[in-house]
Amino acid sequence: MMAAETIQQGRAVLGIELGSTRIKAVLVDEVNAVLATGSHEWENRYEGGHWTYHEDEIWSGLAACYADLKADVLARYGVTLAQLGALGVSAMMHGYLALDADGKLLVPFRTWRDTTTTVAAQELSALFEFHVPERWSVSHVYQAILDGEEHVPSISRLTTLAGLVHLRLTGEHVLSVGDASGMFPIDSATRGYDDMMLRKFDGISATHGVPWTLAELLPRIALAGEEAGRLTPEGAILLDPSGDLQAGCPLCPPEGDAGTGMIATNSVAPGTGNVSAGTSVFSMVVLERPLADRTAPEIDLVTTPCGDEVAMVHCNNCTSDINAYVGLLCEFAEVMSVPVDRGEAFTKLFNLALSAEPDAGGVTAMPFVSGETIMGVSEGRPLLMREPGVALTLPRLMRASVMGAFAALAAGNEAIREQGVRIGRITGHGGIFKTPLVAQRLLAAALDAPVVVMETAGEGGAWGQAVAANYLLHGRGRSLSTYLSEEVFSDMRQQLVEPSPADVEGFASYLACYRRGCVACKALEVR
């Protein structure tokens, strides 16, 4: 009854996240308890040398996800969702979305998964004396300049996927500082784009005859807790073509999936850290002091939704190959006329991983569906390898696959430790942690650090963005960290796993084989 009243009176808050394989919506009440959910499956495609999603898939997927949420609300509470207290949109960070003066895409969306900007990223890193990753928006636009792409003079705005959706919902060209930090370096003192680096970029782009400055194209930056626009009538119809949804609710700043992961794990204060694992995997450690070396290629310097500096290790590949193996085994079961529930298959297969040897017994999985910059692999080339005479068993396959999902992350975090950054307790977040203990235990071994998983670990970034929207309404002048600790996580159930010496030693042995496997992957590259 209380939930139905919250929804009918327009006090419920909605978070939507456009992830790599799923668009998810989570509706929460004033205390961030989940009221209803909706989702829509989608998948990127490799076309014309780029990883992309078609633009019509963004809008149809968004509407389908909202319709699924709306149906869930009706089924649970017997009411039609028509009003929202607040709304927030988040999505995959980085990539390239270039708009003309009329707001139309000049080229198809190029996602974070692209590894086509190596030259641009290297030149910018040298120019800025700051590591600029290949997937950042500034690398994409500079590569387009270097390649002489015809659309470059017509660019009027650059944004991310979350920024594009927010623009269509509100008319506002704005981003959270966290998402913006994956477009261009941020000055953590001003919480804005680094002015000196902007001037350096404009200096080299002008030599190519570019008619704009980068600051003219980038979104306005907003911090957590600030209102970033209101839902317009056109935006309401975009979300809910039936016309039931009323316009006018406020929106929090559009966020990247790294930011929502930090919120969803209460990891926004200095000294905290989290790992978000899905199609990609990345760790975030909120820095207590600046890094001595800001050029380390394994470390991306981004920010929290409040603008504090974060050392990020981002790996392009995580669960996609695991999903492929589980799908193959489910397909075999169907061929044998013994169909299985996919969710149950994941649970049972994951649990088998813990019965294998700590180093996976000589089996190594290279889950490179796309290139993996940290490991020096520029093309997708998934491989499964085993030592001569080693039997391929299900436990070994699953343990190798889960450890393979975290191996590049482990290699990248070595660089963070070398700079004297303390990696304390890490909070795991994402669907891979739904099966209790398995991924959590192997991540603890990979990072040689305690790993916490909360009861909300499987809710994903959509819940984190709903919390951000609630913070807009109910922050009452408190810092985001204080709001999360007092209002969201004060009595949250959680499970802590310490790394076991045997698992740590086994992972180190596995990582040595994994590094040798990277040599094989690079040898198979075409370009």
Q: What is the DSSP letter of 251?
A: B
State how far the Cα of 465 lies from the Cα of 417, in Å rounded to an integer: 30
Q: Give me the half-sphere count of Cα atoms (radius 13 Å) on the Cβ side of residue 494.
A: 21
For the ranges 7-11, 195-199, 296-300, 331-335, the lowest mean pLDDT is seen at 296-300
Cα–Cα distance, 149 to 368 (Å, whole number): 29
Q: How far apart are CA 145 and CA 119, in angstroms?
A: 11
190 in a domain, yes or no?
A: yes
Domain assignment present for residue 233? The answer is no
Beta strands 174-176 and 220-222, pairing class? parallel
Return d(Cα 518, Cα 42) in angstroms, integer. Answer: 29
pLDDT at 526: 77
Q: Cβ(353)–Cβ(438) under 8 Å?
A: yes
Say if residues 429 and 443 touch (Cβ distance below 8 Å). Answer: no
Cβ 252 vs Cβ 471: under 8 Å: yes
Segments forming the whole domain that contains residue 213: 94-159+184-217
Q: Is 385 in contact with 401 (CB distance < 8 Å)?
A: no
Angle at 331 between CA 328 and CA 332, to 5 degrees: 90
* Residue 403 scores a pLDDT above 80: yes
Residue 146 sits in a domain whose CATH number is 3.30.420.40
pLDDT value of position 114: 84
Residue 28 resides in a domain: no
Q: At what angle do helices 394-418 and 342-352 cross, to 10 degrees?
A: 70
Q: What is the pLDDT of residues 92-151, one digit of tens each?
A: 999 999 999 999 999 999 998 887 999 999 999 999 999 999 999 999 999 999 999 999
Please report which confidence band the pLDDT of residue 375 belongs to, taking 50, 70 and 90 as the band edges. very high
Q: 3-state DSSP call for residue 396?
A: helix
Note whether residue 83 is domain-resident: no
| Packed helices 438-447 and 501-523: angle between N→C axes, nearest 10 degrees | 80
* In a domain? residue 85: no
Is residue 211 scored above 90 in pLDDT?
A: yes
The number of helices, as runs of H, and strands, as runs of E, in the chain is 17, 22
Phi, psi of 104 (to 5 degrees): -95, 145
Asked whether residue 398 is domain-assigned, the answer is: yes
Q: Do the domain assignments include residue 476?
A: no
Asked if residue 373 is part of any domain, the answer here is yes
| Token pair 């929804």 in the structure block, residue | 7
Domain tally, the chain: 2
SS3 375: helix
Domain endpoint, select from 217, 241, 265: 217
